[in-house]
Amino acid sequence: MASSADTLVTAPPAALPRRRKGPRRKARRGRAGYLFVAPFLLFFAAAFIAPLAYAAYTSLFRTRLVGGTVFAGLQNYREVLHDQAFRDGVLRMARFLVTQVPIMLVLAVAFALAIDSGRLWGPRFVRLSIFLPYAVPSAVAALMWGYLYGPSFGPITQLADNLGVTAPNLLSGGWMLPSIANIVTWEFVGYNMIIFYAVLRAIPAELYEAAAVDGAGPVRVAVHIKLPALRPALGLTAIFSIIGTFQLFTEPSIMHTVAPNVINRSYTPSLYAYNLAFTDQRLNYAAALSFAMGAVIVIVTAAFVLVFSRRRARS
Amino acid sequence: MRPAATMSAQRAAPTVRINLLAVLRRRSVPLTIAMFVCVAYFLLPLLWLVIASTKSDSGLFNTFGYSVQTRDFQLWHNVRQVFSYGDGQFVRWLVNTVFYAVASAGGAAVLATAGGYGFAKFDFVGKRAAFAVVVVSIMVPGIALTIPSYLLFAKLGIVNTPLSIILPSLVSPFGIYLMRVYAADAIDDSLLEAARIDGAGEVRIFFQIALRLLAPGVVTVVLFTLVATWNNYFLPFIMLNDPSLFPVTVGLAQWNAQASGGGGAEAVFSLVITGSLISVLPLAVAFLLLQRYWQSGLSAGSVKT
Amino acid sequence: MKLREGNGHRRLPMLMLALIAAIGLVAAACSSTTPKSTASTATISTSTKGSITFWTWVKDMDKEVALFNKKYPNIKVNVVNAGQGSDEYKKLQTALKAGKGAPDVAQIEYQYVPTFTITNSLLDLAPYGASALQAKFVDWAWGQVAKDGKVFAIPQDTGPMGMLYRQDLFDKYGIAVPKTWDEFAAAAKTLHDKDPKVYLTDLPPNEPGAYVGLEWQAGARPFDVQKTDTVGVSLNDTAAKKVSAYWSGLVKDGTVATDPDFTDAWYQGLASGKYATWLTAAWGPLFLQGTAKATAGKWRVAPLPQWSAGEQAAGNWGGSTTAVTKQTKQPAAAAAFAMFLNSDPQSAALLNTDQSLFPATKALLNDPTFLGQKLDFYGGQTVNQTFADVSSTVVTSFQWSPFQDYVFSEFNDTVGAAFTKKGDLDAALDSWQGAVVKYAKEQGFTVP
C-alpha cells in the first residue's frame, strides 16, 4: 500500500517549476472537492431533499374526498400534537428504547469482551454464530420468530405442553413488545458486537504491556483499558439504535399478520404513518406526522448525546 | 490525522498473538460454557428453520419442532415446491435481490468514496453545511422519505421499476460519513501534496493514491450497503406492485399473507418456511467466506470513527 | 478550517446547486396530471391489437385468459398479483392519485367499489355494452355495481353466508343443528361445558367482513350513501346492537373462541376439531376442503341460524367484481375483458370449478349440474344447492361506505380488540361509530 506513495515522494523534483502555493493553488484544490462530492450530492438531492421538500409541501395542505385539496397551513401539525395515537406510539417506542437498547448493547459488549479475552475455546465459532442472525433479513426473522412464538407449531409451546405447563401467549398484548424486542436483539447483537470487537482488537499493545507491568488482572484490564476504549463506539451504536428503534416498522408489520388485534394501526409511529397514508389515504397528515416523528428522533438523540458527552467529560 | 495509531494497531497484532499463546493455558471452561449457551440462543432458531424445512405442512403441525422426521423427509419436495411455485417466482425474486443489492452496493460505494474523499481532503464553500445536512439526514425516519419518494417517482413514471429501489439505496449518508472519517485518517495530506507537486491531476491522484489507501473502508461500505439492500423490506414493499420485480423479502411476505384472506387464500406454511431458509443461505454463506473482509473493514471503519 | 472565496467570484456552494436541482425536480413532478379517459365507445373486433394489465389475487387465471384470447387473439392480458385485498387497494389508490401506474383492469371486492367510484376512478362500462348484462347476474350483486344507468364493475363471485358444522362433533356431544341464534347460544354453552377444549365456533376479531355479514343478516344498515357528499353512518343502530349484545354474551361466557382467522393457529383449530362450526361465506366449503384434509367427510352445510324461527335472511361476506380504471389506454379492450371474464358462461363456470369462487350469475345458480354437485368432504351433501338457496335471501339494500378500508381497519382496533379482551362490545361499537363519523367529517362529508 505504501509503495506507490513512496515512488511519488522519491521522484526527483528537479524538473518542476518553482512551487506556487498561493491562493490560486488552494482555490483549485478546493474546487476539485466539488468534483468529488457532486455525484453524491446530486443523488442525495434527488433521493433525500426532493422527497422531503415534497413531503414538507404536502404537509401544508389537506386533501379530502369531498372538497379536494385546500391549503391548511400548520393545521396538520397542530393535529399531530393532539393525536393520542401518535403519543401512544412514541411512548411505546420510548419504553422499547430504554429496555431493549441497553440490554442489547450490554450483551454486545459482554460478548465482545468474552471473545477478546482469549479465554474461550472456539472464539471464531462463537463470534460467527452470534453475528450470523445479521445475515437474516428482518422480514424473514420476524416471520420465523412468529412461527416460533406461535401456539400451533412453535417449539416453545410444544415444550411447555410436554412439561405440562401452559406457555405464556407470547403474541398477546402484554407480551408483544418484549417478543418484538427479542427479535430485534437476536438480529442485531452480533452486529454491535463485531463493532466493539473491532475496537478492542485495535487497542495498542503498549497499554496491555503497561498493565501487565502494573500487575493488573484481567478484570482490571477490562475495566480500565477495554471499557474506556469502547466508550466512543458505544455512543455511536447507541445513537444508531435510538434512530432505528423509533423507525421500527418491519417486525410489527409482519407480526400484524399473526396477531392482528394486538398490533393496532398505530402500534409504532412508522406503522401509523403508513396506515394514515395508505389505509386512510391521508397523505398530508401522514407527511406532517413523519416530520413530527423526525423531530422526536432528533430531540431524543440530541438529549442522549448531551448526557453522554457530559458524562464522558466528568469521567 | 493520527498515523501513529494506525501503525501501532498493526503492531498490536503480533504482540497480542504472543500474549494469547501465553494465555492459552488459562482458557476458561465456565466462560466457554456460558458463551456456548448464548450461542445456542442465536443458533437454535435457525436450526428450527432447517428442520422445519424438512417437514410437510401436516408434519409441521403434528411433530415437535426439533425432531427430524426421517420417515417423512420432505426437504427436497419443499425445495422443489419453492422453486416451482407460481411459475418459478422465487428464482426471479432471488435474481432481483442480487441485482438490487449489487447495483446499490456498487453505486453507493462509488458515491460515498468519492464524496467522503472530497469532504475529507478539500475545502470549499458550503462544505460544512452540506456535510452537516448529510449527517443529520441519517436521523430522518425511513417512512418520511419513502412515501413522498413513492409519489414523486410515480409522477416521474419510475415507480414499480428497479430504479425506484436502486436510486434511494445509492445514497448512504452513513457510508459517506464513514468514508470521510476514514479518508481523513488514512490518507496523508503530504502524499497528496507531493503528487500535486509532481503535476498529477486530482482525478489521477484519487484513483492512483487515494483509492488504494481507502480500500478497507470501501469494502466496509460495500458490505454494509449490500446487506442493507438485501434485507430491505420497507422500500420495495412500497415501491413495487409487480411480483416479478419483488426481492425475496417482499415475496416471502406476500406468500405469508396469501394464507390470510378469504376467497382465494391458501395455507402455504411449508413454502414460506423453506423459502425463508433458502433466502438466508446466500448471505450466511457470504458471511462465512468473507469473514476476513468483514473483520478488517469494520475494524478499520469503526476504529477510525 | 477557514473557507476561502477565490478570485472575487461568488461561487455557488454545491449545496445550493443541489437544492435548486431538487426544487426543480419537485416542481416538474408537481405539475398536475389528470387521468386520461379516452371516451371511445368503439367496440373491439377479433383483430384488435392491444395489451392490458389485470390485477387480481385469484390464482391461475390463465385458463380464463386463454378463453378470452380464443375470441380476441391479439389482446395480451398481463395478469399480476399486486397483493391480496387491502394490500391491492392501497396500491391502486396511490397509483390512481399519482396519475400513473394503475392497471387497466382490477379485482375489487363489493365493499370497496364505492371507494373507487367516489374518486371517479372507475370507467363506466355502460357505453361498452355492460347494461345488457344485468339480467345475467343476481339482483343484489348488480345493485352493488350499477347505479343510475352507469355500470362501474362486473360482479365476479359472491359470498352469501352459511354455517359449516362438524356432524361428528354434534353427534358426539348430542347437539342438534341450531336453527335460531338462541339455539346456537344454548348449544355453545352445552358443548363447551362438555368439553372445554372445544368451542361451537370462532368469532375472529380481525375479520370485519364476516362480522358485518352477520349484522347484514340481522338487518343492520351501517351506511346510507344517497348523494356523493353525504354519508349516513349508523354502525351502532338497533340491529347492530342486537348482534353485539348477543356475541358479547357468548364471548364473556367463554363459550366461543376469539382467535384471529387465517393464521396457522386457526388452521390448526379447524383441523383438530377445536371449532365445531365455521360461520363463513359460500367460498368457504371449497377452501376448507383444501386446508383441513384430515377432516374429510365430517362436515356438513346449513344456513345460518336465524333471529326468529322460520325466518330466512342472510348476509354476504366478500365476493369480488372486475372493474376498469380510468387510467386505461385501451378502454374498449379492458371493458371487453372485464365483461367476458365474468359473464361468458364457460369462463364463469371455470371460475367456480377451478378457483372455487361462488357464482354471481343466475345461469350457474340455476344450473342443475352445479346445484346437484355432491361433495364427499361434506358427506355427499349438495353444498351448492344450500348456498344458492341462501343467496336468494340476501337482503338487497345493503350499502358500503366510500372509505371502507378505514372502516374495517378501525374495526380491528375497536370492536375486534373488545373480542380479544372480552370487553364491552356495546361500548366498542360506539367507539367505532365515533371514529368513523369523525373521519367522514374530516374528509368533508356531511354526516346527517
Residue B278 pLDDT greater than 90, yes or no: yes
Residues in chain B within 8 Å Cβ distance of A5: 188, 191, 194, 209
Q: What is the distance between the alpha carbons of residues B224 and B178, in angstroms, rounded to a whole number?
A: 11
Rounded Cα distance, A233 and A229, in Å: 8
- Please indicate if any CB of chain B lies within 8 Å of the CB of C1: yes
> Class of the C6-158+318-365 domain?
alpha beta
- How do residues A66-108 score in pLDDT, each as one tens digit? 888 899 889 999 999 999 999 999 999 999 999 999 999 999 9
pLDDT at position B271, please? 87
What is the model's pLDDT at position C424? 87
Alpha-helix runs per DSSP H in chain B = 3-23, 29-52, 57-62, 75-121, 127-136, 142-156, 162-170, 173-186, 189-197, 202-205, 211-231, 234-239, 248-258, 269-289, 291-304
Nearest residue of A to residue C9, measured between CA atoms: A27
Query: B241 is written with which cell numbers?
Result: 406492485
Residue A119's closest CA among B116, B32, C25, C337?
Answer: B32
Q: pLDDT digits over A135-161, tens only?
A: 899 999 998 998 888 877 788 888 887
pLDDT tens column, C280-310: 999 888 888 877 888 899 999 999 999 999 8
DSSP three-state, residue C222: coil
Q: What is the pLDDT of residue B3?
A: 39
Q: CA torsion, points A231, A236, A237, A241, in degrees to nearest 10? A: 130
User: Do the Cβ atoms of A34 and B124 come closer than 8 Å?
Assistant: yes
Sequence spans of domains, chain C: 6-158+318-365, 161-315+397-442
Please report, as a single letter, which amino acid is at residue A294: G
Averaged pLDDT of chain A: 85
Q: For an interface test with A, give the residue of C223, C225, C406, C445 to mutate (most A CBs within 10 A).
A: C406
Query: Residues with Cβ < 8 Å from A43, sequence gap 6 or more?
Result: B111, B167, B170, B171
Q: Does domain B82-304 have CATH number 1.10.3720.10?
A: yes
Scanning every residue of chain B, which has its alpha carbon at the shortest distance from the alpha carbon of C97?
A: B151
- Whole-angstrom Cα distance, residue C2 to residue C17? 21
Q: Residue C27 in contact with residue C310, Cβ under 8 Å?
A: no
Q: Is B217 exposed, middle or buried (0-12, 13-18, 19+ CB in 10 A)?
A: buried
C161-315+397-442 fold? D-Maltodextrin-Binding Protein; domain 2 (3.40.190)
Answer yes or no: is pLDDT of A15 > 50. no
Of residues C264, C403, C412, nearest to A152 (C-beta): C264
Rg (CA), chain B: 24
C-alpha cell at C311: 325466518
Residue B110 exposed, middle or buried by CB count within 10 Å (0-12, 13-18, 19+): middle
- pLDDT band, residue A111 (cuts 50/70/90): very high
Asked if residue C331 lies in contact with residue C128, where contact means CB atoms within 8 angstroms, the answer is yes
Q: What pLDDT, in 10s, does the model give residues C383-441?
A: 999 999 998 888 777 899 999 999 999 999 999 999 988 888 999 999 999 999 999 99
Residue B299 pLDDT class (50, 70, 90 cuts): low
Q: Touching check for C84 and chain B: CB below 8 Å? A: yes
Closest chain B residue to C263, measured at CA: B260
Segment among A308-312, B42-46, B168-172 with least mean pLDDT: A308-312
pLDDT above 80 for B1: no
Q: Which pLDDT belongs to residue A147?
A: 86
Domain edges within chain B: 82-304
Nearest to B168 by CA among B229, B112, B116: B229
CA separation for the pair C124, C146 (Å, rounded): 9
Q: How far apart are CA C413 and CA C425, in angstroms?
A: 12
For residue A270, the chain B residues in CB contact (below 8 A) are 141-143
Q: Which residue has the cell 448464548?
A: B38
Residue C274 has pLDDT above 90, yes or no: yes
Cβ contact, residue pair B233, A236, below 8 Å? no
Q: Which residues of B touch C21 (CB under 8 A)?
A: none
CA distances for B195 relative to A8, A11, A15, B202, C3, angstroms: 6, 10, 14, 9, 23
Q: Is B242 on the interface with C (CB under 8 A)?
A: yes
**Beta-carbon count within 10 A of A129 CB:** 20
What is the pLDDT at residue C368?
92
Cβ(B160)–Cβ(C101) below 8 Å:
yes
- The alpha carbon of B279 is separated from its chain's Cα centroid by a whole number of angstroms, namely 14
d(CA C375, CA C384): 9
| Fold of the CATH domain A76-314 | MetI-like fold (1.10.3720)
Phi, psi of B112 (to 5 degrees): -70, -40
Looking at C98-107, C170-179, C203-212, which range is the least confident one? C98-107
How many Å from the N-terminal Cα to the C-terminal Cα in chain B? 12
* C18 contacts A45? CB cut-off 8 A: yes
Using the Cβ of B58 and the Cβ atoms of chain C, whether some distance falls under 8 Å is answered with: yes
β pairing state of C105-109 and C50-55: parallel
Which pTM does this prediction carry? 0.84
Q: Which of A92-101, B283-292, C222-231 has the lowest mean pLDDT?
A: B283-292
Nearest-by-CA chain B residue for C261: B260
Domain ranges of chain A: 27-71, 76-314
Per-residue confidence (pLDDT) for residue C195, from 0 to 100:
92
Residue A238 to residue A137: CA distance in whole angstroms? 21
Q: What is the pLDDT of residue C40?
A: 46
Altogether, the residues listed in chain C come to a count of 448
Q: In this structure, are residues B284 and A134 in contact, taking their beta carbons and an 8 Å threshold?
A: no
| Residue range C82-91: mean pLDDT, rounded | 87
Question: Which residue stretches of C201-307 are H helix?
Answer: 208-218, 238-253, 264-272, 284-291
Beta bridge partner(s), residue C150 = C147
pLDDT(B95) > 60: yes
Neighbours of B67 (CB within 10 A): 12
Helices B29-52 and A173-201, packing angle to 10 deg: 120
User: 3-class DSSP state for residue A68?
Assistant: strand
Torsions phi, psi of B261, nearest 5? Answer: 150, 115
Percent above pLDDT 70 for chain C: 91
Write the pLDDT tens digit of every residue in A204-253: 888 888 888 888 787 888 888 888 889 988 998 999 899 989 989 999 99
Per-residue pLDDT of B253-269, as tens digits, reads 888 877 655 444 456 78
Nearest to B39 among A129, A136, A270 (CB): A129
| Beta carbons within 10 angstroms of residue C28's beta carbon | 12
Which pLDDT score, from 0 to 100, does residue A21 have? 53
The C-alpha cell 365430517 sits at C298
Q: Please indicate whether, in this complex, the C-beta atoms of A279 and C90 are within 8 angstroms of each other.
A: yes
Determine the Cα angle at C374 with ends C369 and C377, to 5°: 145
Range A216-227 burial, b when 16+ CB lie within 10 A, else e: bebeebbeebbe
Measured between CA atoms, how close is B167 to chain C, in angstroms? 14
C-alpha cell at C203: 368469532
Where residue C10 falls among pLDDT bands split at 50, 70, 90? very low
B45-87 pLDDT, tens per residue?
A: 999 999 988 888 777 777 777 877 777 788 888 899 899 887 8
